[in-house]
């Protein structure tokens, strides 16, 4: 069974601080996605990484896929209150069904 472990589960920081969220597995994924979910809404896709070692940037967010495609990280620079939410990583396996395995999520609170 493929599992994704996210850490930390909860993070409360002050505006302007930097943070990193980790997503780890013992399984290889063909691609990995990061979503952000706000209260009362469904998850919204932030980025998809496909190639081992790939780094993608989205404004102040930097996403990295591990060389072995088993892990990923999300780094936020100078966090803002608008970054508050639940961050989910999700991995796609080697089958063509498009099935995603989600981590348990990291709840981020950025205080002004």
Partner 1 sequence: EAGVAQSPRYKIIEKRQSVAFWCNPISGHATLYWYQQILGQGPKLLIQFQNNGVVDDSQLPKDRFSAERLKGVDSTLKIQPAKLEDSAVYLCASRLMLRQTYEQYFGPGTRLTVT
Residues forming the site for partner 1 (CB under 8 A): 4, 6, 31, 33, 35, 40-45, 48, 50, 88, 90, 92, 97-100, 102-105, 107
How many beta carbons lie within 10 A of that of residue 82, not counting itself? 9
| Residue closer to partner 1, measured from CB, 84 or 107 | 107
| Residue closer to partner 1, measured from CB, 96 or 112 | 96
First to last CA, the chain: 41
CB of 96 to partner 1, least distance (A): 9
| Residue closer to partner 1, measured from CB, 42 or 82 | 42
- Cβ-count burial 20-50 (b if 16+ within 10 Å, e if not): ebbbbbeeebebbbbbbeeeeeebeebbebe
């Amino acid at each position: 069974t493929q599992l994704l472990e996210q850490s930390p589960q909860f993070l409360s920081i002050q505006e302007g601080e930097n943070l990193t969220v980790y997503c780890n597995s013992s399984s290889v994924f063909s691609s990995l996605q990061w979503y952000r979910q706000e209260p009362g809404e469904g998850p919204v896709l932030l980025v998809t990484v496909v190639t081992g070692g790939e780094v993608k940037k989205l404004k102040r967010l930097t996403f990295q896929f591990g060389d072995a495609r088993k892990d990923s990280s999300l780094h936020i620079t100078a966090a803002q209150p608008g970054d508050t939410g639940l961050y989910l990583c999700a991995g796609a396996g080697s089958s063509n069904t498009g099935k995603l395995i989600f981590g348990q999520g990291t709840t981020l609170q950025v205080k002004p």
